[in-house]
């Protein structure tokens, strides 16, 4: 504690240009400027590679981090019933909050009917590949795909759910070993610390990755590409913000903290997600920060990785809004029953979406094909702007999963309130260097 107290002032007085989130923010702004003024430069393969390379570096360590944290968390629990209890509480929370996200999207889509009068002719060929992937995403296939063909294959592909399944089984096995497994548990903890060290090194390249991703996005699509669809983007942004402030804000207030202070606390991760359009790019660092915030390590290890597949609030809002927008644009009147079907189908199709490229668009295809097949060609209407909404989907997802871990820790009675308040009340203290 003494070391932490003496180190904090030094970090608080750190030069502004050395702070990670400042560097990322500046990189995003520069990337946007380059994309607008020099699109030919911004769309160069080498510029695109900067963003893609950073995301690949992060994804490289996601599988070992999830394995180590989940396995260690379970292995250190002496009561197997507690693991099951935490899992059930997390799933209950996910389903309730996801339902609120879907309902809010449906409500806003009906109140602000932004799709009416949009003169756009859909091109079904533009979304054919996504529709094929959606048709292949059967519910049974989803559950079967959780089981890896081989353990090595799960790690090689970086499949979060498959690694999570093996980690849970391995954790229970270590728990059953008792004292005989102490040495192996210690090794796993050491490996986790070493991998977090790798992440600390990788994060130094975050500004470069954010610059490349933002420059390429703006250079390729550009502000002019938005056209009349700017209304849908604005409505989606407003709905996501309303969800974070109202729904997640009320949950935070119930636990006893401010949602705004929490957002400031994870500002590094939010800016990285904003620059890369990938919530996975901040997963390992988010888990580490939540532990330092006072959340129980076993809860963080179970809730956050699971939430990346079962708690996609931003994706849920997007699916209901986009479905209503497409229906309005094509002049298709959806009955009350069909709108209820959107809620039920979207609740299923969104599961496991985070590990799929273009996940939001693929799950939208799956939802539309069930609600009304006549709407599927209309996906081309939102195809060109999907990239501009993916950032907010990712931002909402990561914020929602962070709040979920805090809430379940509180529900379990394992949230250190003093640590929580101390961290949230010191937003100027950089947390990226606490473990260094």
- Which domains occur in the chain, in start order? 15-424 (1.10.3860.10)
Q: How far apart are CA 121 and CA 413, in angstroms?
A: 55
* Residue 376 token pair: 């599927």
* Residue 51 CB contacts under 8 Å (≥ 6 apart), including other chains: 209, 210, 211, 212, 213, 214, 216, 275, 276
* R_g over Cα of the chain: 22
According to the model, what pLDDT value does residue 243 have? 94
pLDDT number for residue 408: 92
- pLDDT at residue 80 in the model: 61
pLDDT computed for residue 351 by the predictor = 57
Q: Rounded to the nearest 5°, which phi and psi values hold at 384?
A: -70, -20
- Is residue 296 left, alpha or beta, with left meaning phi > 0 and alpha meaning psi from -120 to 50? beta
Residues 6 or more apart whose Cβ sits within 8 Å of residue 330: 122, 374, 375, 378
Compute φ and ψ for 412, nearest 5 degrees. Answer: -80, -10
Residue (of 332, 314, 340) closest to 106 by Cα position = 340
User: Which ranges of 14-79 does DSSP label H, i.e. alpha helix?
Assistant: 20-37, 39-42, 45-75
Q: Report how far residue 413's alpha carbon sits from residue 335's, in angstroms, rounded to the nearest whole number.
A: 44
The pLDDT profile of the chain, 436 residues, written as one tens digit per residue, is 333 333 334 344 567 667 776 777 788 788 888 888 888 888 888 887 887 787 778 778 777 877 887 787 677 665 666 777 887 888 889 889 988 999 998 899 888 877 665 544 555 554 555 555 555 555 566 567 778 888 888 888 777 668 878 888 888 888 888 778 788 888 888 887 788 788 778 878 878 887 887 788 677 766 554 445 577 788 888 999 999 999 999 999 999 999 999 999 988 888 877 776 666 777 778 888 898 898 888 888 888 877 876 788 888 888 888 888 888 877 777 777 778 877 877 776 565 444 444 456 656 766 676 677 677 666 666 665 666 677 788 888 889 999 999 999 999 888 888 888 888 887 554 444 444 3
Q: In the prediction, which pLDDT does 33 show?
A: 84
pLDDT value at residue 233: 80
Residues 6+ apart with CB under 8 A from 182: none
User: Model-level pTM?
Assistant: 0.65
What whole-number distance in Å separates Cα of residue 295 and Cα of residue 303? 11
**What whole-number distance in Å separates Cα of residue 274 and Cα of residue 218?**
13
């Amino acid at each position: 504690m003494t070391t932490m107290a003496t180190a904090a002032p030094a970090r608080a007085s750190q030069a502004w240009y050395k702070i990670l989130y400042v560097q990322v923010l500046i990189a995003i702004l520069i990337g946007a400027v380059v994309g607008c003024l020099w699109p030919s430069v911004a769309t160069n393969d080498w510029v695109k590679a900067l963003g893609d390379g950073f995301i690949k570096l992060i994804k490289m360590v996601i599988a070992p981090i999830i394995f180590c944290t989940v396995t260690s968390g379970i292995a250190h629990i002496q009561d197997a019933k507690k693991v099951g209890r935490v899992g059930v509480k997390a799933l209950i929370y996910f389903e309730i909050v996801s339902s609120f996200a879907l309902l809010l999207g449906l409500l806003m889509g009906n109140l602000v009917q932004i799709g009416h009068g949009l003169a756009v002719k859909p091109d079904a060929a533009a979304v054919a590949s996504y529709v094929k992937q959606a048709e292949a995403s059967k519910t049974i296939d989803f559950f079967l795909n959780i089981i890896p063909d081989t353990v090595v294959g799960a790690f090689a592909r970086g499949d979060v759910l498959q690694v999570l399944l093996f980690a849970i089984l391995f954790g229970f096995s270590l728990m059953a070993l008792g004292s005989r497994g102490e040495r192996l548990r210690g090794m796993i903890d050491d490996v986790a610390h070493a991998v977090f060290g790798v992440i600390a090194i990788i994060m130094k390249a975050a500004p470069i990755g954010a610059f490349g991703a933002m420059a390429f996005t703006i250079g390729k699509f550009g502000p002019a590409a938005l056209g009349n669809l700017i209304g849908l983007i604005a409505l989606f942004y407003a709905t996501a913000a309303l969800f974070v402030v109202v729904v997640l804000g009320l949950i935070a207030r119930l636990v006893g903290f401010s949602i705004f202070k929490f957002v400031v606390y994870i500002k590094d991760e939010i800016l990285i997600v904003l620059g890369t359009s990938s919530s996975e790019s901040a997963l390992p660092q988010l888990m580490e920060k939540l532990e330092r915030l006072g959340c129980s390590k076993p809860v963080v290890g179970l809730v956050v990785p699971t939430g990346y597949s079962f708690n996609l609030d931003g994706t849920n809002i997007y699916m209901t809004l986009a479905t209503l927008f497409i229906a309005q644009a094509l002049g298709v009147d959806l009955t009350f029953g069909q709108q209820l079907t959107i809620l039920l189908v979207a609740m299923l199709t969104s599961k496991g979406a985070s590990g799929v490229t273009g996940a939001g668009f693929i799950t939208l295809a799956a939802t539309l094909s069930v609600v009304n097949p006549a709407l599927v060609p209309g996906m081309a209407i939102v195809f060109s702007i999907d990239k501009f909404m993916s950032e907010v989907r990712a931002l909402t997802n990561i914020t929602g999963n962070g709040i979920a871990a805090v809430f379940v820790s509180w529900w379990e009675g394992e949230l250190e309130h003093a640590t929580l308040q101390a961290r949230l009340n010191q937003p100027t203290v950089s947390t990226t260097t606490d473990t260094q």
